[in-house]
């Protein structure tokens, strides 16, 4: 479910956006912060592992990880 749809659903349930204690932008920011905290460099670390494995296994592949 998109953040905007979830926010609209909450707004419709409550009846007005003034009764919500956060804005739609706050919802987006909260989710973005959660994603950053959850990933914690995981994607970059995974990529480095893939490149290292390829470097070891493929004779014609070169990469400098320094």
Over the stretch 26-66, which tens digit does the pLDDT of each residue have? 988 888 887 777 666 667 777 888 888 888 888 888 877 66
Q: Considering the domain boundaries, does residue 8 fall inside one?
A: yes
Domain count, the chain: 1
Say if residue 9's pLDDT is above 80. Answer: yes
Q: What is the pLDDT of residue 16?
A: 65
* 40-41-47 Cα angle (round to 5): 150
Q: Which domain holds residue 47?
A: 3-57
Q: Considering the domain boundaries, does residue 63 fall inside one?
A: no
Q: Considering the domain boundaries, does residue 62 fall inside one?
A: no
Q: Considering the domain boundaries, does residue 66 fall inside one?
A: no
Q: Considering the domain boundaries, does residue 64 fall inside one?
A: no
Q: What is the pTM of this model?
A: 0.48
How far apart (Å, rounded) are the C-alpha atoms in residues 52 and 39? Answer: 20
Q: Considering the domain boundaries, does residue 45 fall inside one?
A: yes
Q: Considering the domain boundaries, does residue 31 fall inside one?
A: yes
How far apart (Å, rounded) are the C-alpha atoms in residues 18 and 15? Answer: 9
**Cβ(7)–Cβ(30) under 8 Å?**
no
């Amino acid at each position: 479910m998109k953040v905007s749809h979830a926010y609209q659903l909450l707004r419709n349930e409550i009846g007005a956006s003034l009764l919500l204690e956060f804005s739609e932008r706050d919802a987006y920011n909260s989710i973005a912060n959660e994603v950053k905290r959850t990933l914690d460099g995981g994607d970059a670390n995974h990529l480095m592992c893939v490149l290292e494995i390829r470097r070891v296994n493929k004779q014609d592949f070169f990469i400098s990880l320094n």
